[in-house]
Amino acid sequence: MNMIDVKVAAIKQVTPLIKHFTFVKEDGSELPSFSGGSHIVVALDADGRTYRNPYSLMGSPTETDAYHISVRRQENSRGGSAFMHENVSVGMTLKITHPVNLFTLAKMAHKHILIAGGIGITPFMSQIEDLKRLGVEYELHYAFRSYAQAAFVDELKKSCGSSLYCYGDSDGERLDMQGLLSWQPLGTHVYVCGPSPMVVSVIETARNLGWPEHSIHNEQFLSPPVGEPFKVQLAKSEIEVEVPAEMSMLEAIEAAGVKAEYLCRGGVCGRCELGVLEHDGGLEHHDHFLTESEKASCRKIMPCVSRSKGKRLLLDL
Ligand code: FES
C-alpha cells in the first residue's frame, strides 16, 4: 500500500484520555481528498516493530491542507495508542495510508440519524461537514460517560446547533433508542459508531422496528485482541512466522517481510482475507466480515484481528 509522509503539525490534549493530532505534508502541498467517514492507517515504528492503527479523519473534507485525527488512550493498549500519546511529538514525520471510506453516508437518504458513543464521535465530525454542505437533514446523538470526559462538545454545539443531542451518563441522561428510532420519516438512515453494546443495541432496535437493512450503518473497527502465541506457515512464501501474544497475525506476517493486503485492520472490510489450508485446533474468529457458516468451516480467516486456537496454521499466502 502506498504511504504518504506527513509531519505532525500540532497535538492538543482534548480530555485526559484523548489527544487530537494534526498532520500536514512536509512541503505544504495538499493531502488527498476524502469524504466524511473516511479513515487512514497510521504506521508507527516502536519497540522494534511497526504498529499500523486505523483512525477516522475528523476535519472538513473540503480542507485538505491538513488531516485531523483523535486518539483515545486505550486501557489495554498493545502499544499503538500508548505510543501515540507518549512518544509522538510536534515536528515528527509519520507514514499514513491514503484515506479509505468504509462508513459512507447514503446519498439517497432523506434524513440521517448519527449515533456516537465516546470516541466513536470522530467519523461523524467529518460526516456532519458533508451533511451541512449538502443541506441534508440530520441529527447527531452523542452519548458519553460525563461532560468532563467528553471530547469536542463545545465545537459540536457551535457546528451543529439544534441538531446536536448530548447524553452524559453521570448526569443521568440516557438516549431513548426505541423512542428515537420509532418515529422517523421514510427514507431515514441510521449510523452508529461507539462501544460494541451500543452498536448492537442500535442495530437490533432498528431491525426490530422494521428498518430496512440497507438503512442501518455501523462502524465497528476492532483492536486486534491479545491471545496465545502460535506459528503460521505461509504455503506460497514458504516461510514460517511466529505470532507472539501481543501481535496480530497480519502484523507478524508484515514483520516477516511478506506483503499482505489490508484496508481497515479492524475486521470489517474483508480485504485481508486469507485461505486456511490446515489448522490444528480451530480458529478464533473476531471479525465482523465472515458469515457464521464461513467461520464454522475454518477455511478462511481475517489475519488483522483473528487468531489460531491451536499451535499452528497453514495459510494460502
Ligand atoms: S483489513 Fe479489513 S478485515 Fe482485515
Among 221, 249, 265, 315, the mutation site with the greatest number of ligand 1 atoms within 8 A of its Cβ is: 265
CA of 26 to the centre of ligand 1 (A): 29
Of 78 and 59, which is predicted with more confidence? 59
Q: Which residues of 183-209 are buried (b: 16+ CB within 10 A; e: fewer)?
A: ebeeebbbbbbbeeebbebbbebbeee
- At 136-158, the pLDDT tens digits run 999 999 999 999 989 999 999 99
Closest ligand 1 atom to the C-alpha of 304?
4
CA of 276 to the centre of ligand 1 (A): 16
Share of the chain above pLDDT 90, in %: 87
Identify the band that residue 75 occupies on the pLDDT scale cut at 50, 70 and 90.
confident
Among 195, 190, 233, 235, CA closest to 209: 190
Closest ligand 1 atom to the C-alpha of 303?
4
CA of 266 to the centre of ligand 1 (A): 5
Q: How deeply is 17 buried, as exposed, middle or buried, from its count of CB atoms within 10 A (0-12, 13-18, 19+)?
A: middle
Residue located nearest, by CA, to atom 3 of ligand 1: 267
What gap in Å lies between CA 299 and CA 282, rounded to an integer?
A: 10
pLDDT value, residue 220: 85
- At 224-268, the pLDDT tens digits run 888 999 999 999 999 999 999 989 999 999 999 999 999 999 999
Identify the band that residue 77 occupies on the pLDDT scale cut at 50, 70 and 90.
low
What gap in Å lies between CA 77 and CA 66, rounded to an integer?
A: 27
- At 98-138, the pLDDT tens digits run 999 999 999 999 999 999 999 999 999 999 999 999 999 99
Site residues for ligand 1, CB cut-off 6 Å: 262-265, 267-272, 287, 289, 302, 304
Average pLDDT along the chain: 94
What gap in Å lies between CA 130 and CA 124, rounded to an integer?
A: 10
pLDDT value, residue 215: 98
CA of 250 to the centre of ligand 1 (A): 9
Domains detected in the chain: 3-101 (2.40.30.10), 111-219 (3.40.50.80), 230-315 (3.10.20.30)
pLDDT value, residue 79: 67
Q: How deeply is 16 buried, as exposed, middle or buried, from its count of CB atoms within 10 A (0-12, 13-18, 19+)?
A: exposed
Question: Would you give the end-to-end CA distance of the chain in angstroms?
Answer: 17
The answer to whether the pTM exceeds 0.85 is yes
CA of 170 to the centre of ligand 1 (A): 35
The residues that bridge with 183 in the sheet, in sequence order, are none
Identify the band that residue 83 occupies on the pLDDT scale cut at 50, 70 and 90.
confident
